[in-house]
Amino acid sequence: MSTIKGSLTLTIVYEPPFYKAIFERRFTSTYEVSQINLGPSEPKLTLIYDLVIHHWNGIIFFKQTVCASSVSERKISPKRLQRLARKSIQHGIGTKAQQTLQKQLECQKVTRQHNRRTKKILDQEKRYKLHQAKKIQKRKGH
């Protein structure tokens, strides 16, 4: 029987205008993080206990992995590489949890854009089919 050793950390931070609870889970090979908004007023200890004890199953953790963005295989110019390197150094500030949450937001943004694009295409097709059906109906007469 193997045991999985891990640790859990709860950090409460104030990022105006809300207090946020940041949960971090570390296992042997994985790092997971979750963020929950607690509201504008300072959270009471009973609220935190209730969150941990009763609502633990509802917390959605995000694993730190590289999100599948659309990276092409084309050659990148040296100047662009310099810009990207400079940009990555500037955004390196913050805790590991903040960086992971930022990656999660970026992945969610990419999926939202993809979903919006597909929905737009489906709506256009639906309108086109409706337009064609109306044209056919007009030609048939009553």
Tally Cβ neighbours within 10 Å of residue 21.
19
Give 77-129 pLDDT, tens digit per residue. 888 877 877 776 655 556 777 777 888 888 889 999 999 999 999 999 999 99
Backbone angles phi, psi at 102, to 5 degrees: -65, -40
Q: Does pTM surpass 0.85?
A: no
Give yes or no for residue 41 having a pLDDT over 50. Answer: yes
Main-chain phi, psi angles of 136, to 5 degrees? -65, -40
Mean pLDDT of the chain: 81
Contact 15, 35 (CB under 8 A): no
Please state, for a pLDDT cut of 90, what percent of the chain lies above it: 20
